[in-house]
Amino acid sequence: MSNRMINILVPVISVILGLLVGAIVMAVSGYDPILGYTALWNGIFGDSYAIGETIRQITPYILAGLAVAFAFRTGLFNIGVEGQLIVGWFAAVYVGAAFDLPKVIHLPLSILAGAAAGALWAFLPGLLKAKMKIHEVIVTIMMNYIALHVVNALIKTWSGGGDKTERILDSASLRSDFLASLTDYSRLHYGIIIALMMVVLMWFLLEKTTMGFELKSVGFNENASEYGGMKIGKNIILAMVISGAFAGLAGAMEGLGTFGNMYTRGGFTGIGFDGIAVALLGANTPLGVIFGAVLFGSLKYGALNMPNAAQIPEEIVQIVIALVIFFVACGYAIRLLLSKISKKKEAK
C-alpha cells in the first residue's frame, strides 16, 4: 500500500470510526442512531436553505484550517487562531461601520483590516519565538484570552455600554442577493469565494515561491537553514504573521458576511480551535483543508437539526462531534496500523 493511499485512507477511516462510535453512544443512551444521522443529513442537505447555511458555515473553517495548517507546515503550532479570528472580526466590522466609502474601496479595505489585525495579533508570538525562544503555544493560548476580553471592552466602549457594535454599511458587506435567492434566502455570502482563493494562495506560497521554500526549510531544520544563509528569526515571524492573516480573514468573513456586526462574547467561537482538527484531517495541505472544513462545517450546522428532528439532546450531539475529532487526532495510530497491514501483505 502506497503512502499516498494511506494518506487518503487515514482521514476516511477516522471519520467512519467517529460516526460508528457516535452511533453506539446514541444507542446506549436510548436514542435511535439511524434517526439521528438521518436528521444530521437532512440538516445539511435537506433543502436549498440548509445547503446554503452549510456552505456559509464551512467558509470560516476553511480559513481557520489554513491558518493552523500554514503554521504546521512551517514548523509552528499556532493555537492562537481563535484570538486572531476575534480581533480580525472586530477590525473588519469597525472599518465596515465607521467609514462611508464606495463599495469597490470599502469592502476590500474592511477585508484587509481583518487580515491585518489577525496578522498583528500573531506578530508578537512570532517575535517572542524568534528573539527569545519563548514557545508559541504558551504565548498564543494567553493571547486568545487577551483578545476575547480586549475586544469585549472595545465593543462596550464603541457602543456606549451596549453589547454589540453598529451594523456595517452595505458598501462593506459580503452578502449576496444572488446567492441568497439560490438558497432560499440563507446567509450564504461571497466569503466562500475568498476562502477558496486563499486555498490557492497558500498552495502557491508554499510550493511555488522561494519564500515558501525558506519558510518550510526553517520549520524543518533551523540549523541547516541557517547554514544555508536563511534568516531564521525573520522566517519565524513571517510564518506567524501569514498564519494570523488567514485567521483574521476567518473573522472578517463572520463580521462582513454572516452577522454584519459583532457582539460581546462570554466565551470563544470555537472555530479557531476546530481549525486544528480541520488542518490535521486535511494533512496540513491546502486541498485537504477544504475537505476537513466541509466535514466540520457540515457536522456543526447539520447537528443543529438533530435535537428537533430526532429529539437527541445537544450534549449527545456534541459527544458525537467530539468523537470524530478524537479519532482524527488518533490518525497516527491508524496510519501505523495500515502500514503494518501493508507490510504483512508485501511479505506474503
Q: Which domain holds residue 204?
A: 58-304
Write out pLDDT tens, residues 170-193.
999 999 999 999 999 999 999 999
Q: Please report the pLDDT score of residue 179 as a whole number.
A: 94
Per the listing, cell 453506539 goes with 24
Would you say residue 178 lies in a domain?
Answer: yes
Across 135-151, average pLDDT = 96
Whole-angstrom distance, CA of residue 325 vs CA of residue 337:
19
Residue 2 has pLDDT above 90, yes or no: no
Q: What angle, rounded to 10 degrees, do the helices at 271-281 and 3-28 form?
A: 130
Would you say residue 288 lies in a domain?
Answer: yes
C-alpha angle 50/267/258, rounded to 5°? 35
Do the beta carbons of residue 262 and residue 164 sit within 8 Å?
yes
Number of domains in the chain: 1
- What's the residue count for the chain? 348
Whole-angstrom distance, CA of residue 93 vs CA of residue 334:
43
Per the listing, cell 537553514 goes with 225
Q: Please report the pLDDT score of residue 346 as a whole number.
A: 67
Whole-angstrom distance, CA of residue 259 vs CA of residue 261:
5
Which residue, among 318, 241, 227, 215, has the nearest Cα to 78 in the 3D structure? 241
Would you say residue 72 lies in a domain?
Answer: yes
CATH number of the domain that residue 107 is part of: 1.10.3470
Residue 1 pLDDT level (bands cut at 50, 70, 90)? low
Would you say residue 239 lies in a domain?
Answer: yes
3-state SS class at 263? strand
Q: What angle, rounded to 10 degrees, do the helices at 314-329 and 271-281 form?
A: 40
Maximum Cα–Cα distance across the chain = 74
Whole-angstrom distance, CA of residue 166 vs CA of residue 159:
7
Whole-angstrom distance, CA of residue 55 vs CA of residue 44:
9
Write out pLDDT tens, residues 257-290.
999 999 999 999 999 999 998 998 888 999 999 9
Which residue, among 274, 278, 254, has the nearest Cα to 265 in the 3D structure? 254
Across 91-105, average pLDDT = 96
- Which of 60-64, 138-142, 220-224, 265-269 is predicted least confidently? 220-224
Which residue, among 73, 56, 60, has the nearest Cα to 272 in the 3D structure? 60
Q: How far is CA 163 from CA 84, 85, 151, 251, 304, in A?
A: 20, 19, 11, 18, 25
Would you say residue 240 lies in a domain?
Answer: yes
Mean residue pLDDT across the chain: 92
Would you say residue 204 lies in a domain?
Answer: yes
Would you say residue 9 lies in a domain?
Answer: no
Q: What pTM value is reported for the model?
A: 0.92
Would you say residue 233 lies in a domain?
Answer: yes
Residue 348 pLDDT level (bands cut at 50, 70, 90)? low
